[in-house]
Amino acid sequence: MIHLPTLTWSDAWYLAPELTLSIFAVVLAVLDLFLPRSWNRNIIGWLTLVGLASAAAFVVWLMIDFKNAAAAHPEDPTAAFRNLLGGSYRIDDFGNLLKLVFLGASGFIVLSSLGSVRSSDIPLKGEFYYFMLPAALGAMVMSSSGDLITLFVGLELLSITSYILVGMRKRSGLSAEGAFKYLVAGGVASAFVLYGMSFLYGVTGTTNLAFIGEGIPAAITDYRALVYVAFFLMTAGFAMKLALAPFHAWAADVYQGAPTPVTSFLAVVSKGAAFAMLYRIFMNTAFFAKDDPFVQKDLYLGLSVLAAAAMIVGTAGALRQRQVKRLLALSGVANAGILLTPLAIHLTPLHSSLFSEFVYYLIAYAFMNIGAFAVLTVVSRGSGNESLSGFAGLYYRAPWTAAGMTVLLCSLSGLPVTGGFFGKLFILFGTVQTGAYWLAAILLVTTVVSYAVYFSFIRQMYMRSGSDDSSIRIPGPAGVTIWLCVAATLALGFLPKPVLGWIDALFSIPADFLAR
């Protein structure tokens, strides 16, 4: 008789964040059906924020619980994590840290949209708000999965809800075009990932990441070519999901067509979730290919080439853009290359802080992007367009908003003293420590070139006069979002060591990745 793993009531406690989002999504969907049409749908948005905050509170509670358990049982490496359903779902500090990033980012995006998004942009406001919950849930599942099947379920949950969110502007041809292109690109990417997973399952006989890691050395001995195929198929799929060059062609059209809050969600949460899945798979499988240095060397060389290509193509493409969403999409391509670099240069005795570097820059990237998109939302509402010319004279129309945007742009370009500067600096140190000098040179050169991209905003805000000199009204929630993002960006710049120390104190590669 086959005994399938079951979920007990005590185990359900560890799924409290995911269950909270699920319950809120269902309740808000039903509530939206019964609310009179005359009611303002912003109430759904505020309740969505409550759901996201409640899930984040449960995540923090779990992190404290794990820390206390690890302190009480220092001899037990399994005290700092919990495997559920036969190891197919894993609650650990890797997943919990990323869940906090995803929930926080989603919360800021919802907050920035309250009162600042027109009904012409998002006719179905109720649906927009509660669809953010299953999308965030999919990202959380991707960060905690310990099995290929569970990972793919989370990927599809995030992808399908994202397709719907991109097409929310029902009366816009650009939105329909963006949703269709995103659907096609996402479907092709999922097919590559699933095909690579099937080969990995075929050569190891399991979908559990822990058992795959144990079976990789034998699989390389018997099916070396198929292991190559599996990893490179998955790499191609992830490159398309992350909009890494040369798989990035869809990104600019999708970003331009989607409502601005959705574009912000794609730039931060969807990208971060894909990275979480990439780290989960590669650290639990490719890491154990060290007995065959050629497989590991070729695989990580491929990741390094993708990272370099993304930085070069994204930065060069952004130089010619005047449509802000398309410009930020190409900026996202370059930043995806930077976020990939810690994994690409791999885990070595000289470079054991790859996850800390990745998470620090992901946090900085989330704040500076969400803040920039929030500014774009209020500027486009005031000027009526989403081009760089819409920022003309912003200093005279909304001086404090222009100042906040300047801080965010300095962080995006990597200027001191901001979170983006230290994020890039830590990753640069990692490339130098491992001897990847060519990758360090590309990171440095593209960072310097990107100054021209972000200075174009500053030139418009301070050195150009707009066609309309009237002041721009900043809705309260959007203003709070912008200044919280600015404050967090500066805090990450002035206090990088405490943040890195907090990440290092929570996360451990042996406990969070390699423990079985």
Average pLDDT, the chain: 87
Amino acid at 346: H
Q: Is 425 exposed, middle or buried (0-12, 13-18, 19+ CB in 10 A)?
A: middle
- Percentage of the chain with pLDDT > 90? 49
Domain that holds residue 182: 14-514
Omega prior to 510 cis, within 30 of 0: no
| CB burial readout 157-178, b (16+ within 10 A) else e | bbbbbbbbbbbbbeebeebebb
Task: Write down the pTM of the prediction.
Answer: 0.93
443 pLDDT tier (thresholds 50, 70, 90) = very high
In this predicted structure, the answer to whether residue 1 has a pLDDT above a threshold of 50 is no
The contacts of residue 297 (CB under 8 Å, 6+ apart) are none
Q: What is the pLDDT of residue 493?
A: 92
In this predicted structure, the answer to whether residue 475 has a pLDDT above a threshold of 50 is yes
pLDDT in tens, 119-166: 666 766 778 888 999 999 999 999 998 899 999 999 999 999 999 999
In this predicted structure, the answer to whether residue 448 has a pLDDT above a threshold of 50 is yes
For the chain, the domain total comes to 1
User: Would you say residue 2 lies in a domain?
Assistant: no
User: Would you say residue 290 lies in a domain?
Assistant: yes
CA dist 341 and 431 (Å) reads 8
Strands in 173-291 per DSSP E: none
User: Would you say residue 45 lies in a domain?
Assistant: yes
Range in 43-52, 306-315, 443-452, 506-515 the model is least confident about: 506-515
pLDDT in tens, 145-156: 889 999 999 999
2 pLDDT tier (thresholds 50, 70, 90) = very low
| Average pLDDT for 345-358 | 74
In this predicted structure, the answer to whether residue 187 has a pLDDT above a threshold of 90 is yes
pLDDT in tens, 291-324: 666 677 788 888 999 999 999 999 999 998 889 9
User: Would you say residue 6 lies in a domain?
Assistant: no
Rounded (5°) CA angle 253-376-248 = 25
Q: Comparing 395 with 39, which gets the higher pLDDT?
A: 395
